[in-house]
Chains A and B, each alone.
Chain A
Amino acid sequence: MLRLDKLVKTYKTGDQALKAVELEVPEGQVLALIGPSGAGKSTLIRCINRLVEPTSGKVYLGDVELTGLSSGALRRERRRMGMIFQEYALVERLTVMENVLSGRLGYVGFWRSFLRRFPQSDVDEAFRLLDRVGLAHMADKRADELSGGQRQRVGICRALIQNPALLLVDEPTASLDPKTSRQIMRLICELCQERGLAAIINIHDVALAQMFVQRVIGLRFGAIEFDGPPDGLTPEVLTTIYGEEDWEATIEAVEDEEASA
């Protein structure tokens, strides 16, 4: 469904953020991308929808090759990739409804969107999604009145209303407390399952990733060091990804979780 072919990103400063990354994500698979800060996780996600221009290599979404697209064609393909951000990236001064509907901008002409005259079907879908994430009563609130967890739910709605085939999720829980983090991760994974969406989730919290995903990719210095199921993350593997550290506590925590769950 998504295939990266020798994807390279070299920044102007000369830092090589991605070194010929090869990755294939089948339909409906949720995978976690772990790795230390600066490993290139954010860059990888942003190179897929070209918020960051890759230096070389190819990205295939279905049959379409994204890196060579013109700006108009790229916009059409971006509609198929919903993105969820670390700091929510809601437009703070717009209402929850406007934020959710902004996910339809790729489908609606400029004047309709400018005058907020979205098609009724879009509005219906927005209400359905808000109801699904438990925020239907918040539709008229301004985004900056919401709590972190609520904002991230709005961010999820904005991504889903695009009717995407793939979710690109960049540190969805990094600004949230542990409980809300789990709720958000659970919500994202449930929604992916309901809709058969593939997702790439950047995440710092290894234990949280292991709890929810089917496949884990470990990135280090812009290269893939690990690709396997969550229980393949042994202390040795974590050491190759992150460097030397006592990993027993991290892994035990997960086993406790699973036992109690």
Chain B
Amino acid sequence: MPVQDLKGQKVWQRRTGRESLFHWVLWLTGVAVFAYCWQQISASTTWFFVWDAPRIASDIWTRATPPRWEYITQLGKPIWDTLNIATLGTIISLILAVPVAFLAARNTTPSALFVRPIALLIIVSTRSINSLIWALLLIAIIGPGVFAGVVAIAIRSIGFCAKLLYEAIEEIDETQVEAITATGASRWQVMAYGIVPQILPAFAGIAVFRWDINIRESTVLGLVGAGGIGLQLSSSLNVLAWPQVALILLVILAAVVISEWVSAKVRGAII
């Protein structure tokens, strides 16, 4: 009741007295919780190491510079592996994501009661587990190497691609579908002529976007033994070869920048 009648004048306030009191209590609780947490974290921190941090950081910086440029000859193959993991993984995931998306979209699913929940479950379960964890599982199952990385990236991406794609399918213009249906086209023809042209831009956008993400994700897969440049990173870290680590980080940065540039170009060309 924000409007009150005071001596014949209508007074408007954003909140009633009770509401604003409730808001103050909420803020007070928030501040109290924050202060308590701060104190807990502070008590369990070894402050000696924190005060020491700038010195250590500058120490690592001096050890890491200049990068060991001649090490680049050994990085060509691993970065190529990383790119392959990302690209193959994205392609496989797209192939698997398309049928899942059609089964999950409300307007194309054959059965909203049985098939759709299964498709949604696939989407949620593949999305919710990080690719590093998929890689750990897959290395145990199919052994270490590039293949485990490809499969990890592929599985992780299905949910992401299928979710975006099924949202695009649900947003299509139904009258175009109706028009194709009215010509006597079969179910598959309706899909190829009425639906696919409408979702093609979204599909291409999703593909390059996910490829871009996957390049970044695949650089760390080597840390757990799933091939690619992460393998070099982890072995260099283990022997404290900081100049090599610096060079690897530079190579990863370059790969990511290039992939961002490519995907921005492709997206610009489609839209």
Instruction: Decide if A and B are genuine partners.
Output: yes
Q: Kindly state the separation between the CA atoms of A126 and B197 in the bound complex, as whole angstroms.
A: 21
Q: Are A91 and B184 in contact (CB under 8 A)?
A: no
B167-198 near A? 1/0 per residue, CB < 8 Å: 00000010110111111111011001110011
| B200: interface (CB < 8 Å) | yes
Q: Kindly state the separation between the CA atoms of A92 and B176 in the bound complex, as whole angstroms.
A: 8
**Interchain nearest-CB distance for B150 vs A (Å):** 29
Q: Are B183 and A79 in contact (CB under 8 A)?
A: yes
Q: Kindly state the separation between the CA atoms of A91 and B180 in the bound complex, as whole angstroms.
A: 9
Q: Kindly state the separation between the CA atoms of A104 and B185 in the bound complex, as whole angstroms.
A: 8
Q: Are A162 and B184 in contact (CB under 8 A)?
A: yes
Q: Are B185 and A89 in contact (CB under 8 A)?
A: no
If the complex has contacts A94-B197, A110-B189, A113-B189, are A89 and B183 also in contact, measured as CB distance less than 8 A? Answer: no
| A66: interface (CB < 8 Å) | no
Q: Restricting to A191-239, which residues have a CB under 8 Å from any CB of B?
A: none
* Chain A residues in 8 Å Cβ range of B175: 85, 87, 89
Q: Kindly state the separation between the CA atoms of A155 and B184 in the bound complex, as whole angstroms.
A: 15
* Chain A residues in 8 Å Cβ range of B179: 83, 85, 89-91, 155, 158
Q: Are A110 and B182 in contact (CB under 8 A)?
A: no
Interface footprint category on A = 20 to 34
Q: Are A81 and B182 in contact (CB under 8 A)?
A: yes
Q: Kindly state the separation between the CA atoms of A106 and B183 in the bound complex, as whole angstroms.
A: 6
Q: Are A106 and B178 in contact (CB under 8 A)?
A: no
Could you list which residues of chain A lie within 8 angstroms of chain B, going by C-beta atoms?
A: 49, 51, 75-79, 81-83, 85, 87, 89-94, 98, 102-107, 110, 113-114, 155, 158, 162, 168
If the complex has contacts A49-B182, A83-B179, are A105 and B189 also in contact, measured as CB distance less than 8 A? Answer: yes
Interface footprint category on B = 20 to 34
Q: Are B197 and A105 in contact (CB under 8 A)?
A: no
If the complex has contacts A85-B175, A87-B175, A93-B200, are A78 and B193 also in contact, measured as CB distance less than 8 A? Answer: no
* Chain B residues in 8 Å Cβ range of A155: 179
If the complex has contacts A78-B183, A110-B189, are A89 and B178 also in contact, measured as CB distance less than 8 A? Answer: yes
* Chain A residues in 8 Å Cβ range of B181: 51, 78
**Interchain nearest-CB distance for A220 vs B (Å):** 25
Q: Kindly state the separation between the CA atoms of A81 and B192 in the bound complex, as whole angstroms.
A: 21
* Chain A residues in 8 Å Cβ range of B193: 91, 94, 98, 102, 105, 113
Q: A93-B201, A110-B186, A113-B192 are in contact. List 5 more A-B contacts (CB 8 A).
A: A92-B197, A102-B185, A104-B183, A106-B183, A113-B189
Q: Are A51 and B180 in contact (CB under 8 A)?
A: no
If the complex has contacts A91-B193, A91-B197, are A75 and B184 also in contact, measured as CB distance less than 8 A? Answer: yes
Q: Are B176 and A105 in contact (CB under 8 A)?
A: no
Q: Kindly state the separation between the CA atoms of A77 and B183 in the bound complex, as whole angstroms.
A: 9
Q: Are A78 and B184 in contact (CB under 8 A)?
A: yes
Q: Kindly state the separation between the CA atoms of A42 and B175 in the bound complex, as whole angstroms.
A: 13
**Interchain nearest-CB distance for B55 vs A (Å):** 60
**Interchain nearest-CB distance for B169 vs A (Å):** 15
**Interchain nearest-CB distance for B191 vs A (Å):** 10
Q: Are B197 and A75 in contact (CB under 8 A)?
A: no
**Interchain nearest-CB distance for A211 vs B (Å):** 27
Q: Name the one of A83, A90, A91 contacting B182, with C-beta atoms under 8 angstroms.
A: A83
* Chain B residues in 8 Å Cβ range of A82: 182-183
Of all A-B residue pairs in the complex, the 7 with the closest CB atoms, nearest first, are A106-B184, A105-B185, A78-B184, A89-B179, A79-B184, A83-B182, A93-B197
